[in-house]
Amino acid sequence: MPDPILPPDSHRRALVGALASLGAGSAAIGSGAAAAAASASPAAGASGGPRVLRCVLRNRDNGFDPAFVSDVISAALANSLFDAPLTYDPLARPAKLKLNTAAAMPEPNADFTRWLFRIKPGIEFTPHPAFGGKPRELVAADYVFSVKRYYDPAVRSPTLFHYEGAGLLGLTELRKKALDAKAPFDYDTEVEGIRALDRYSFEVRTARPAPRLPYVFATGAVSGALAREVVVAEGKNIAEKPIGTGAFVLDTWLRGARIVLVRNPRHRHEVYEAEPEPTDPADVAAATRLKGRTLPLVDRVELQIVEEAQPRWLSFLNGQADLLEVPPEFTSLASPNGQLAPNLARQGVQLRRTPVPVSWYTYFAMENPVTGGYTPDKVALRRAVALAYDGQREIDIARHGQGVVAQTLVPPGVSGYDSKLKTLMSDHSLARARALLDLFGYVDKDGDGWRERPDGQPLVLEMYSEPTQLARQLQSLWHKATKALGVKVEFRVAQWQENIKASRAGQRMMWNTGWSAATPDGSYFLDVLHSRNKGQSNHARFGVPEVDALVERQRALPDGPERQALIAEALRRAVALMPMKVTSHHMETWVSNARVVGLKPHPFVRDYWRFTDIEPEPSA
């Protein structure tokens, strides 16, 4: 039987051949890269020609409508096409806010219930027939409209929780009015929550203190400005027709295969400014070299979507990609013992290892008759299954060491994370798991080797994942754990887009997925546990009033011990009820070729290509 962890023999031979050619000398990879660049963009190799950056993505996009973005890839694309008022310094760590379309940092009142935003004049949307075929200036009303869209029931935004969590005044009521009347959402009714004060300023008012609200306005995937007349003109096609003010415009889109972005010729004059970590020589060198350069740094970004890990890795080795997040299964080849492999170093390949605020987990549907509920027997079932599964083994085998064991849903790099915390989330004990099931009546009643439910009905779990090598490895680990526990699991495979749609609708009993931070605020992960967010971020459909209350109380507090205590208590209660088995927090390893300058993936700025340069290849 083939080893489920290793690729098929034919693929291994191809990989060995690629590595052999890579180690043979610089001519092998250099000529391959030149040929690939020439085929992708004939002008890219010419001296003084356009700067073309070629990237490979691991997941499919979900369109270009910010209000409907809920995955990392679509978030990166939205950030390139649409402008939020604020953004982040590309090199500063911890993350540091800086101006984007805003003319100044937003001004709060004394209790953080009102924020004033002022935007720069002269920023333009790209031309569109709705503008009479001409460009149109970005104004404050565009941000007001774009935020209101999240509340429109017809949009059905999965990320409305960003704004509902902040408690924008009047907007939830306006949404409810449309739902109750089964009428179109009224965009023209002015509400206190967000309104334009004049052409270039708008205010945001909240029902309670919102000291971290500026983070919500720092990514195009959450607060990017759309033009109302374009949205009306395009209708249901708006997710395919992105018209924004961002650094790039969409040139080509082959769904699930290829995306090409080109420099926006009307993009406002913006220059590279960064505060590097003084202890990182690569950061310091990049900041010095790129300072004052016009953004974006490249003219064209060619994005290929390759879901399987091995073809992604080979695309970099064969010179078809300029940079790559190394698939976990190939990190030992790229960076044995955490150091760049010698054969890659000889080619001038650059290595980046960086922790990212991502939590991987498998949730239990809390409204499902088998896995859901809050009675002791249902909690025991979830805790037993979680105890039977070894999170460290997942990191070692499926994620190839690229992670740390999780204690709660909140990862490193965001507020609310406690590096000293230890919970039962990380425990692995088959003996305790079996004892729990025995105690609550989950025993083998008919002698077929599988446990039944306490009432004698069959106990069969359904777990969903995707058709990828990583998913197959995770299935193997889960199968081994549950079989040892005596619990039958049936695995279902579907495309990611199908799974996320069904998951939001409450149609998945268990799903292997994850949650990636959009802001440095740990509340973003607590939103996964809030009952208000069922069908949005709360895929498990978990709902406990006491947890909801703790999540709401911590929102109003500034960062500090009091807020930390509330977050810890909310997480403690959630761990006890086990709506999900959080296995690990992610670590990324990146490689780039010698011509790439300034690559440092940011935890909250997904479109790293905006701040990355590539030197043109030498002419033949």
Residue entry with tokens 């999170």: 391
CB contact at 8 A, 247 and 53: no
User: Region 586-614: what's the mean pLDDT?
Assistant: 94
Q: Which domain holds residue 154?
A: 66-234
* Position 620 in a domain: no
Place 307 in a pLDDT band, splitting at 50, 70 and 90.
confident
Burial (CB count <10 Å: 0-12, 13-18, 19+), residue 561: exposed
Q: What is the CATH number of the domain that holds 134?
A: 3.90.76.10
What confidence tens digit (pLDDT) does each residue in 433-455 have? 999 999 999 999 999 999 999 99
Q: Which of 140, 121, 150, 139 is nearest to 203 (CA)?
A: 140
What confidence tens digit (pLDDT) does each residue in 232-242 have? 999 989 999 99
**pLDDT score of 37:** 33
**pLDDT score of 354:** 86
User: Region 321-340: what's the mean pLDDT?
Assistant: 93
- Among 168, 199, 234, the domain-final residue is 234
**Same domain membership, residue 370 and residue 293:** no
* Position 162 in a domain: yes
CA 64-206-74 angle, 5° bins:
15
**pLDDT score of 17:** 39
**pLDDT score of 619:** 60
User: Region 351-373: what's the mean pLDDT?
Assistant: 95
Contacts of 285 (CB under 8 A, 6+ apart): none
* Position 20 in a domain: yes
Q: What is the CATH number of the domain that holds 533?
A: 3.10.105.10
User: Region 471-478: what's the mean pLDDT?
Assistant: 96
* Position 459 in a domain: yes
Instruction: State how many domains the chain has.
Output: 3
> For residue 102, how many C-alpha atoms fall within 13 Å in the half-sphere facing its CB?
25
**pLDDT score of 48:** 65
**Same domain membership, residue 176 and residue 77:** yes
Choice between 10 and 425, residue whose per-residue pLDDT is larger: 425
User: Region 257-269: what's the mean pLDDT?
Assistant: 95
**pLDDT score of 527:** 94
Helix (H, G, I), strand (E, B) or coil at 281: helix
**Same domain membership, residue 371 and residue 350:** no
**Same domain membership, residue 602 and residue 535:** no
Contacts of 239 (CB under 8 A, 6+ apart): 63, 64, 65, 68
Structure token digits, residue 108: 């709060």
**pLDDT score of 59:** 80
Residue 409 has pLDDT above 90, yes or no: yes
* Position 3 in a domain: no
Q: What is the CATH number of the domain that holds 333?
A: 3.40.190.10
User: Region 601-605: what's the mean pLDDT?
Assistant: 90
**pLDDT score of 69:** 86
Residue 245 has pLDDT above 50, yes or no: yes
Contacts of 72 (CB under 8 A, 6+ apart): 59, 516, 606
Residue 9 has pLDDT above 60, yes or no: no
**Same domain membership, residue 440 and residue 345:** no
Choice between 30 and 590, residue whose per-residue pLDDT is larger: 590
* Position 283 in a domain: yes
Place 606 in a pLDDT band, splitting at 50, 70 and 90.
confident
What average pLDDT is seen over the chain?
90
Give the whole-angstrom CA distance, residue 150 versus residue 162. Answer: 9
Residue 595, φ and ψ in degrees, nearest 5: -85, -10
Place 338 in a pLDDT band, splitting at 50, 70 and 90.
confident
* Position 5 in a domain: no
**Same domain membership, residue 171 and residue 42:** no
**pLDDT score of 479:** 98
* Position 619 in a domain: no
**Same domain membership, residue 285 and residue 262:** yes
**Same domain membership, residue 592 and residue 566:** no
- Among 169, 202, 234, the domain-final residue is 234
Residue entry with tokens 């004939």: 42
Residue 453, φ and ψ in degrees, nearest 5: -70, 165
Amino acid, single-letter form, for residue 207: A
User: Region 374-401: what's the mean pLDDT?
Assistant: 96
Angle between helices 430-439 and 376-388 (to 10 degrees): 160
CB contact at 8 A, 357 and 603: yes
Percent above pLDDT 70 for the chain: 92
**pLDDT score of 469:** 86
- Among 203, 234, 265, the domain-final residue is 234
**Same domain membership, residue 200 and residue 319:** no
**Same domain membership, residue 539 and residue 559:** yes
**Same domain membership, residue 499 and residue 436:** yes
Residue 281 has pLDDT above 90, yes or no: yes
Give the whole-angstrom CA distance, residue 208 versus residue 276. Answer: 35
Choice between 214 and 30, residue whose per-residue pLDDT is larger: 214
**Same domain membership, residue 470 and residue 433:** yes
What confidence tens digit (pLDDT) does each residue in 520-570 have? 999 999 999 999 999 999 999 999 999 999 999 999 999 999 999 999 999
CB contact at 8 A, 82 and 66: yes
User: Region 58-79: what's the mean pLDDT?
Assistant: 87
User: Region 154-171: what's the mean pLDDT?
Assistant: 93
What confidence tens digit (pLDDT) does each residue in 475-525 have? 999 999 999 999 999 999 999 889 999 999 999 999 999 999 889 999 999
Give the residue ranges of DSSP H helices in 260-394: 281-290, 309-317, 331-334, 342-345, 376-388, 391-393
Percent above pLDDT 90 for the chain: 83
What confidence tens digit (pLDDT) does each residue in 15-46 have? 333 333 333 333 332 322 233 333 333 333 33
**pLDDT score of 316:** 97
Helices (H) and strands (E) in the chain, counts: 20, 21
**pLDDT score of 18:** 36
